[in-house]
Amino acid sequence: MTKVPKLDPEHTVIFLCDIQGRLGHAIYGFDELVLVTNKVIKMAKILGIPVIVTEQNPKGNRYVTSLTPFTSRAHAGLGPTAPEIDLPALGDLHVATIEKSLFSMMVPEVKTLLRERPRITSVVLFGIESHICVLQTALDLLQEGYDVFVLADGVSSCNKEEVPIALAHIRQVGGHVITSESASFQLQREAGTPRFKAFSTLIKEELANTTKTSQKLLQYPWTIPRNMFGSLFHLAIDALLFSAFLAGIKRSTGLTPALSQVPNKDIRQMLRTYLGIGEYAFDLAMVVFGVILFFTCQLGPPADVSLVALQFL
């Protein structure tokens, strides 16, 4: 039986990646990102899930060059975790805040913390930037054998266009992209537990923020299901076949939809165009079938065969 990775509070740790105050001016949707972070912290407190925090070059590094908006201030230091983030609320669940220069969170100190917790098999990962530190952390965790769940509404970048590409990369290599809401409910698992009342209260209290952050941080092309375009294609083919079917009824019986009964002029014109496409498809099918040996014509071509279709005769 195929193993399906699932979030279990007893086997999960949360990675908060580099959400530092000095990046606030540069990161797309930073304020919304802080809201999601505080929501996750509250959820971790209720469910008893440990949190590991990293800070990228908080005190400065004179060897860092100005390559991107992320690193442009690195020589002066990116400062500590944004003060709006309520890490003290975690208490002992705040395992550590670790300074790093490596882009990935998987520095030796973090690896040691994970080794000290052998029950941990899953990591909920979020932070910035999606295409740099978050991506590289996800790759390193996957290589170490952990199940990685990246919060789509908990990551961002200076250039928002980077986000869907980074998330797609993580999915392609075996990571899982979910939302903070989905992760919360997976970790809660059921309603009949002593902590559900507090959990339910949190979800209700965060409802407005969840809507706000989703509208800001989830408006990416990757959120369209991968089979959506296939479904749209099938719907288009079905619509064409139905239109051609109506054209066939018209040719054989003279019956056609009474468009004059449609009150809206624009809709009436759209329907007229739609039926016209069906008639063209029907006429073209007649031409194609007419040159195939397996079909024989017992009647002459209808008088109203479209001129476009007759060009193929």
Pick the catalytic residue from 39, 42, 100, 216: 100
Pick the catalytic residue from 17, 18, 42, 140: 18
Q: Based on the residue annotation, tell me whether 133 is a catalytic residue of this protein.
A: yes
Pick the catalytic residue from 17, 39, 45, 133: 133
Q: Based on the residue annotation, tell me whether 266 is a catalytic residue of this protein.
A: no
Neighbours of 190 (CB within 10 A): 7
Give dist(CA 52, CA 85) in Å, integer.
14
Neighbours of 291 (CB within 10 A): 9
Q: Based on the residue annotation, tell me whether 18 is a catalytic residue of this protein.
A: yes
Which sequence positions are flagged as catalytic?
18, 100, 133
